[in-house]
Amino acid sequence: MIKPELFDVVELLIDLPNLEIKAGELGTIVEEHNGRAYEVEFSNDKGETLAFLALTPDQFIVVWKSETHSWVSLSDRINAMLQVIPEDGQEKVLNFTRSLYKTPA
């Protein structure tokens, strides 16, 4: 797992229907709470804040590192997601990856 840090951009892994925020939405870490939770700001296309949420690291993955000003590689994002899903889900991902490997480009 990539350690979340202040001002990193994260991708939400869960739906938050009461706030109309869906998995896949991007937010920015604006505060750290003892390394166990992170305050994440979600905004709309106009830059208006939709929500500030305290999230735990199993609810998001880091997709952009503020420190390096670079996007996290796709393989690192996939690896981070694999670490938070149950083993049976990991097995399904492995089987799906195998099917892609066998498919001609």
The one-character DSSP state at 87 is H
User: Looking at the predicted structure, is the pLDDT value of residue 66 above 90?
Assistant: yes
Q: What is the spatial distance between Cα 93 and Cα 73, in angstroms, rounded to a whole number?
A: 18
- Quick one: pLDDT at residue 105? 61
With vertex at residue 61, the alpha carbon angle to CA 47 and CA 24, rounded to the nearest 5 degrees, is 55
Q: Is the dihedral of CA 70, 29, 38, 27 positive or negative?
A: negative
CB of 28 closer than 8 Å to CB of 40: yes
User: Looking at the predicted structure, is the pLDDT value of residue 2 above 90?
Assistant: no
91 SS3 class: helix
Single-letter residue type at 3: K
> pLDDT by residue (tens digit) across 48-61?
999 999 999 999 99
Q: Where are the domains of the chain?
A: 9-102
pTM of the full predicted structure? Answer: 0.86
> pLDDT by residue (tens digit) across 14-48?
999 898 899 999 999 999 998 799 999 999 889 99
